[in-house]
Every structure is written in structure tokens, then in C-alpha cells.
Amino acid sequence: MLTEERYAKILSRLAEKKAVTVAELTELLGASEATVRRDLNALADLGRLNKVHGGATALSGVFTAAEEDVPTKSARFVAEKEAVARYAATLVSGDDFVFLDAGTTTERMIDFLPDSCAATFITNGFPHVQKLARRGLRVSMVGGQYKTVTEAVVGAQAVQDLGRYHFTKCFMGVNGITPEAGLTTPDTEEAVVKAEVVRRSYLCYALADHSKFGVVSSVTFAPLEKACVITDRLPDESYRSFTVIKEVSRP
């Protein structure tokens, strides 16, 4: 079989299944493992697929620059977000210094924190600081520009404020997740805040329902491997090659 024919068969199988193994391609092509690995490396260099340990995955191709407002986001995947938020809340310990990112799922986390929670919280989410304060929890808010659509504080001053902090854990909202683009969000000023938080956190958790996988938004704020992703359901098992994924059951 000619090289171009092998390439075409590999890409066709990827388009169908989204992920393939070297063993599977060896059988499909009637070629040696060494030949298949060379083909995968060549196609990866050409930008036609994503090479992973033991095989390859298809490139993600759903792009969006849109930013929905908070009421719209709150009405979507309600049960899934609740399951993710409920589990994430169990990861907060009494001595933690936590950054809680703006977002509908991170806000839902607050409802599941125990009354005995002694952690300290920093947030850029306007609803978050109000809800945390009503719960009697220790909370401060970063300064900066208020973004109406996401009800978040963003911009250069927020980044400057974050410069004095070192978080044990951060819980981040995300608009899109792919191996190639990593964790993405539509707004540049919000992205720089998120990136600074991730840089200043010992442990980073990205809270995402299953619809966020395979989506690329405008700006990358962290590579995928920087965060443990908590989700209700993982639609593509190949993501486990890049980072820790925790699936949680719906209530």
C-alpha cells in the first residue's frame, strides 16, 4: 500500500472514531507497528492529527467566540453542573486558601460547602462573594473591571491584585477543552486573570460539564495538563492521556 493510501485510511478511521490505537491501525493497514508509528508522526508533523501514547486522536474542530450571559448558562445542564459542583466542594479542606473563579458551576459549589468549612476564599465572581459572605465564610474579592456578561472582575488590576496570593487550590470555570488548545475562554482580559490564578495555585481543578469537551474558545489560559478536570461525563476517553479526569454521577 502506498504511503498516501495509508495516510488516507488513517485519517478516515480517525474521522469515524475520533481515536485510534497503533494496534488497530496495524491490522487495518496490514503494516508493521514501526510503519504505523512513522505514519502517525508524519501526519502529526503535518498538523493532521494529534499523536498520543499508543495511537492518535482527531483534531478538535468546534470553535466558538460567543459568550453567553449568566442566566443563559445557569439554565443549561443544571443536573450535570450540580453533580460536578457537589463533588468539587468535597475537595475543599479547612486549611485551604482557595481561589473560586467566576462561573455558574463554581458558584454552585458554594451551596455544597459544609457549615463547618474553615477555608479562606478569594474570588473574582460578584455573585460568589455575596453568597460566600452570606454563608459566613471568609472571603475577599479582587479589584478590577466589572464584566457584566459573566458577572466577573477582570483586567490588569485584577492580575495585579492576584500577585500577592499563593493558592493551595483553585476551581476554574472553562468554556472549551481540547488537547491542542487546552483550557479556553472567549475574553482576553478574563483569560489573563485565569492564567495568573493557575500559575499561582498548587492544585488546579477545571469544572466542566461534558459539552465543553471538543470545543475551542478564543483564548487559551492554561494547557490541559495543568488542571484536573471534573466532569459529569467524559465523551472521549483519549483525554485521559493528557491529564487526570474525574467523572462524577448525577444526583
Q: What angle, rounded to 10 degrees, do the helices at 33-45 and 3-17 form? A: 80
* Residue 112, C-alpha cell as written in the block: 455544597
Here the contacts of 240-245 (C-beta below 8 Å, separation 24 or greater) are 241/52, 241/53, 241/57, 241/179, 242/52, 242/179
Q: What is the pTM of this model?
A: 0.77
- pLDDT at position 61: 56
Q: Which three cell numbers stand for residue 68?
A: 453567553
Which pLDDT value is given to residue 250? 59
Other Cβ atoms closer than 10 A to 186? 18
Note down pLDDT in tens along the chain; length 251 residues: 788 888 888 888 887 777 889 999 999 999 999 999 999 998 888 767 788 888 888 765 566 667 788 888 888 889 999 999 999 999 999 999 999 999 999 999 999 999 899 999 999 999 999 999 999 999 999 999 999 999 999 999 999 999 999 999 999 999 999 888 899 999 899 999 999 999 999 999 999 998 898 888 889 999 999 999 999 999 888 899 899 999 997 55
Quote the pLDDT of residue 112. Answer: 97
